[in-house]
Amino acid sequence: MSKKIKTNYDVWREENMKDPEFRRLYKEEEAKFSVSQKIRRLREKLGMTQQSLAKKVKTTQSAIARIESTDYEGHSLSKLEEIAKALGAALVIDFIPTRKIKKSA
């Protein structure tokens, strides 16, 4: 039934799972994951292949693979929007202040 192909991401995750701190974050906060990984995980939840996602986004499998690679950081917002749509999701972006904001105008 279920195919268990081990991706680079699987290898990466298994390796990192050896680290207790990583395990803690992995369980508690998926928010800690990169955009690339979020896309991959959502795609896999939907049972889609890179190929089928590529078709929906009108691009190629290799382009999806690149976007999902753990060390890729060249994402564009427009592409992310397209991908989100193809995955039946809404892309949410927000800026969260990490330090105090001065009251002055």
Residues lying near DNA in the complex (CB under 7 A): 3-9, 44, 49-51, 57-63, 65-69, 73-76, 78-79
Report how far residue 41's alpha carbon sits from residue 35's, in angstroms, rounded to the nearest whole number. Answer: 10
Contacts of 23 (CB under 8 A, 6+ apart): 17
Geometric angle at alpha carbon 48, from 46 and 51, rounded to 5°: 160
For a second copy, the binding residue among 44, 51, 60, 62 (CB under 8 A) is 44
For a second copy, the binding residue among 19, 23, 46, 62 (CB under 8 A) is 46
Residues that bind a second copy (CB under 8 A): 2, 7-9, 11-12, 25-26, 29-31, 35, 38-39, 42, 44-47, 73-78, 80, 84, 87-102, 104-105
